Amino acid sequence: MATSEVNVKTAGVDPKTGEYRVVGEGQTFGSVTEKITQIVLTPHTPLGWFALFGIGGAGATMLLVAVTWLFLKGVGIWAITQPVAWGFAIINFVWWIGIGHAGTLISAILLLFKQSWRNSINRFAEAMTIFAVVCAGMFPLIHVGRPWLGYWLFPLPLTMDVWPQFRSPLLWDVFAVSTYATISVVFWYIGMVPDFGTLRDRAESKFAQYIYGMLSLGWRGSVRHWMRYETASLLLAGLATPLVLSVHTVISFDFAVAVLPGWHTTIFPPYFVAGAIYSGFAMVLTLAIPLRKFYGLEKLVTERHIDNMGKVMLATGFIVAYGYGLEAFMAWYSASHWEAFMFWNRMFGPMGWSYWVLITCNLAIPLTTLWVRKWRRNMTFMFLLSLVVNTGMWFERFVIVVTSLYRDFLPSSWGTYRATKWDYMTFVGTLGLFTALFLLFVRFLPMIPMNEIKLMLPSAKIKPKAAEAAD
C-alpha cells in the first residue's frame, strides 16, 4: 500500500490510542479563530440559511395562529376530553424538556469530569437546551385554559389570599423548569463571554463592535478575568448538575403520584431521566451533523464526537429498555388486574400500534445498530437514527399519556383520542419556532467555543524551552 494512501486513511487517527482525534490535524490558534468568527462576522449569509429560516418562520407563524385561536376559543379546540383530559400539550411538554437535558449534561457533567471532547459541541447543545425549554414552557401555560392567570402558580403575596397548592406536582414543575431555564441561560451566556471579546475585536462594523462589546462585559483576557471565568463556570456546572436529575424527576412525578394504572410506578424518575438524555443526545446529533457539513466544521466536530454520542445513546437506551421491561414485569408481578389490562391494552388495544412504533424506534433499531463502530461513524446513518430515536421518544410520551387514560376503571367511560388539526399545528409550530431560534443563534453567536478548542490543540500543550530546561 502506498504511503500517501496510508496517510489519507489515518489522517484523523491518534497513533497512540487508535482513536479519532477530538480536533482534526492542521488546526492552529489562528485557523480556529478565523473559522468560527467568519461564520458570525461574514456579511454574506448563505442562501441555505435563509431557506431554512423561512421554513422555521412559517412554523412559528403557524404556532402563533394556533395559540391565538386557542385563546379565543379555549382548550376545547384540542382533542382533550374525558377520560383523556391530557393530550398533545403534556406530551409535547415532556418531550421538549427531555430534549434539553443533553445540553446540560454535556455542559456541566462532562465539564466536571474533564471530558475534553465536549468542547466542540457544548455551545450549541446549551443553545438547544434553552430553545427546547422555551418551546416546552409554553405548554403548561396554554394548557391551563386561562394563561393570563398563570402568575397564580407563583407564591406571590396576593391580597385575595390565593396561594399555590404546594402538594401538586404541577406546581413543582413551575419551580423545577424555571430554575432549570435560569441556570441554563446564565451558564450559556458566561461561556460565551471570552468569545464575545474576540468578536468585538475582529468586527469591522461599528454596530457589531458596540453590540459584542456590551455582551463581552469588558473582557480583556487578563489572568484575573480567566480565573473568575473558570471559577464561575465550575460553580454553575455544580449547580446545573443536580438539575439534570431533578428536573425530569419532578416532571415524572406528574404521573407517578397519580393512582392510575400505568402511571403509579416508582421506576418513572430514573426512567424519565434516562429517556431525556437519550432523546437529548439524538437531537444534538440531528443538529451537529448538518452543521458540520454545511459550515465545513469537520475538523472541529469530528467523527470522535459522533462516535461518543452514539455510545452515550447506547448506554441510556439500555436504561430505557430496562424501564420498559420493568413496566411489563410489574404489571404481572403486582397481581392487579387493572395493571395487567392496562399493559395488555397498551400493546394490543386500539392504539397498540403506537406502542410498537415506540419499541421499534427506541429499542429494536438503535440497540442493535449502535454496537457497530463503523455505523456510529457513518454520518448519514447517525443522522437518520437520531430522527428515528426522537420519533420513538415522542411516541413514548404519547403511550404514557393517552393509553393510560383512554380506557380507565369504568368501561362506561371509555373513549378514544384523535388529535385535531390545532394539536398538530401547535406541535409543528414549536418545531418551527425551535428551528428559527437555533438558526438565529448560529448566524449571530459563536456556535463553537474558540478558547476551549484552542486548549486542545497540540500547540497549547508544548512547554516553553525555559520550562523544559527547569524540568
Q: C-alpha distances in angstroms, 368 versus 143, 242, 289, 380?
A: 38, 31, 21, 17
Q: What is the pLDDT of residue 466?
A: 44
Q: State which residues form the domain around 192.
A: 23-157+170-458
Higher-pLDDT residue of 20, 146: 146
Cell output for 394: 415522542
Q: Is residue 162 part of a domain?
A: no
CATH at 404 = 1.20.1630.10
Per-residue pLDDT reduced to its tens digit, 306-326: 999 999 999 999 999 999 999
For residue 219, being part of any structural domain is answered with: yes
The reported pLDDT for the residue numbered 158 is 63
Q: Does residue 470 fall inside a structural domain?
A: no
What's the rounded mean pLDDT across residues 37-45?
89
Note the maximum CA span of the chain.
86
Q: Count of domains in the chain?
A: 1
Of the pLDDT bands very low, low, confident and very high (cuts 50, 70, 90), residue 452 is confident
DSSP 362-399: IIITHHHHTT-HHHHT-HHHHHHHHHHHHHHHHHHHHH
In sequence order, what are the residues at sequence separation of 6 or more whose Cβ sits closer than 8 angstroms to the Cβ of residue 102? 125, 128, 129, 276, 277, 279, 280, 281, 283, 284
pLDDT at 429 over 90: yes
Residue 4, domain member (yes or no): no
> Are the C-beta atoms of 273 and 249 separated by less than 8 Å?
yes
Q: Could you tell me if residue 85 is inside a domain?
A: yes
124-171: pLDDT as tens digits: 889 999 999 999 989 988 888 788 887 777 777 666 677 777 888 888
H or E stretch at 428: helix 421-444
If we measure between CA atoms, which residue out of 100, 109, 119 comes closest to residue 21? 119
Task: Provide the pLDDT confidence category of residue 470 given band limits of 50, 70 and 90.
Answer: very low
Q: Please state the rounded mean pLDDT for residues 421-441.
A: 95
What number of residues does the chain have?
471
> Taking CA 388 as the corner, what is the angle to CA 386 and CA 391, rounded to the nearest 5 degrees?
110
Backbone angles phi, psi at 78, to 5 degrees: -85, 175
CA proximity to 10, closest of 2, 1, 20 = 20
Q: Which three cell numbers stand for residue 64?
A: 402563533
Peptide bond into 155 cis (omega under 30): no
Residue 234 has pLDDT above 80, yes or no: yes
pLDDT value at residue 462: 56
Alpha-carbon span 110 to 116, nearest angstrom: 8
Q: What is the mean pLDDT of the chain?
A: 86
CA atoms of 57 and 59, how far apart (whole Å): 5
Indicate the SS3 state at residue 20: strand
**Average pLDDT of span 7-14:** 48
Q: What is the arithmetic mean of pLDDT over 98-113?
A: 82
Query: Dihedral of CA 328/332/334/336: which sign?
Result: positive
List C-alpha distances in Å: 315 to 129, 140, 263, 329, 355.
Answer: 21, 31, 24, 21, 22
pTM higher than 0.85: yes
**Looking at residues 449-458, what average pLDDT do you find?**
81
Q: What is the mean pLDDT of residues 230-245?
A: 87
Task: Report how far apart, in Å, the C-alpha atoms of 469 and of each of 459, 460, 461, 462, 463 are.
Answer: 18, 18, 16, 13, 10
Domain membership flag for residue 9: no
354-394 confidence digits (pLDDT tens) = 999 999 999 999 999 999 999 999 999 999 999 999 999 99
Q: Would you state the pLDDT for residue 408?
A: 80
Check residue 84 and give its pLDDT: 87
Q: Kindly tell me the number of DSSP H helices and DSSP E strands found in the chain.
A: 20, 0
pLDDT in tens, 177-215: 888 999 989 999 999 999 999 999 999 889 999 999 999
Asked whether residue 466 is assigned to any structural domain, the reply reads no
Q: Does residue 237 lie within any of the structural domains?
A: yes
Q: Which of 311, 441, 470, 425 is nearest to 64 (CA)?
A: 425
Residue 112 — pLDDT band, cuts 50, 70, 90? confident
pLDDT of the residue at 387: 96
Percent of the chain surpassing pLDDT 70: 92
Position 286 scores a pLDDT of 94
